[in-house]
Amino acid sequence: MTDRSPFLSPVEAVCPASLTDLARSSGVPRTAIARAGAPLPMLAAMEATKAGLMVPVFTGERDLIEAEAAALDWDISDYDLIEAVGEADAGFAAALACGEGRADVLMKGQLHTDMFMKAALSRDAGLRTGKRLVHIFHISHPSGGKPMLISDAAVNVSPPIETRQDATREVVKLLHALGNPHPKVAFLSATEAAIASVPSSLEAEELAKWAAANIEGASFSGPLAMDLIMSPESVATKSMGHDPVAGQTDAIIVPDIVSGNALFKSFVYLSGGCAGGIVLGAKVPILLTSRADPAAARLASVALAAIVSASGGNAE
């Protein structure tokens, strides 16, 4: 057995009470769980239901769903159950329930992500809005303080400028819904100067200028390297105090999935951050649950979906 790295945080993730409290005050959405008949999705559904964050709508094989509920000693007789066999049918049944207004949130259960997203993007499901789908992580620290949002670390591999523009809009709307009246958004690169040898820095500068001209109720800056995003000391050392975002960032728009994925996992594994994730841009919020998610992260994700659903932000 190898020694545990000293960089890994021993602190367990904690879902912030402020997030779940806001979600409960926003209303309890009906959440369609695609192929719910497996231990993880049923446990996640039970935890969120008992926390007052969802009313489940189960899809999938009835015998498997009822068996998993019985194993948890959970009476689900009061909740809707849409019978469907196999990944494709269960995924589409859940997506269609959202498209037809019978559910308010779409949640991944026991099926492959590509199959789940194929169902969500099916024209017949009615969830398309003409906007690009973007993933946002809401990461909070166990000791409290303001969260950090990161997009896109899970869905778009090499998002073009237009997709990052949509991600910026969604991040600002989400922060407004979370009670931040004027969020500060940074566009990540490896430098604070736009230079030709670092293409992401040129794109970050372009995005910051576009966002300032097209999105109200927020401040933007880019390119910014990670030290200037996080550290007021670095801001002072580099004489960047004039920048409205540096050292006080609320959200980071990353240039690609590699940097975003590495960044969010650094927050989680090195500081004990709780990462709630949500996909925006469809008619309803979409939840991509993972076997690696701790209970706190699952709860935070469901809370985010409830807040977005109540705000109506995803249907604009």
Name residue, tokens 């690609």. 256
| Domains delineated in the chain | 17-183+250-315 (3.40.718.10)
DSSP state of 11: P
What rounded mean pLDDT belongs to the chain?
93
Q: Which residues contact 147 (CB under 8 A, 6 or more apart)?
A: 16, 138, 139, 140, 178, 250
- Tell me the per-residue pLDDT of 114-141, one tens digit each, with 9 for 90 and over: 999 999 999 999 999 988 999 999 999 9
Q: Where does the pLDDT of residue 292 fall: very low under 50, low under 70, confident under 90, or very high at 90 and above?
A: confident
Q: Where does the pLDDT of residue 2 fall: very low under 50, low under 70, confident under 90, or very high at 90 and above?
A: low
CA distance 260 to 150: 7
Check residue 312 and give its pLDDT. Answer: 76
Question: CB–CB of 252/164 below 8 Å?
Answer: no
Question: CB–CB of 183/175 below 8 Å?
Answer: yes
Checking if the pLDDT of 258 tops 80, the result is: yes
Share of the chain above pLDDT 90, in %: 86
CA distance 295 to 28: 19
Checking if the pLDDT of 303 tops 70, the result is: yes
Q: What is the pTM of this model?
A: 0.93
Checking if the pLDDT of 27 tops 90, the result is: no
Q: 283 or 312, which is more confident?
A: 283
Which of 250, 248, 239, 245 minimizes the C-alpha distance to 223?
245
CA distance 288 to 276: 10
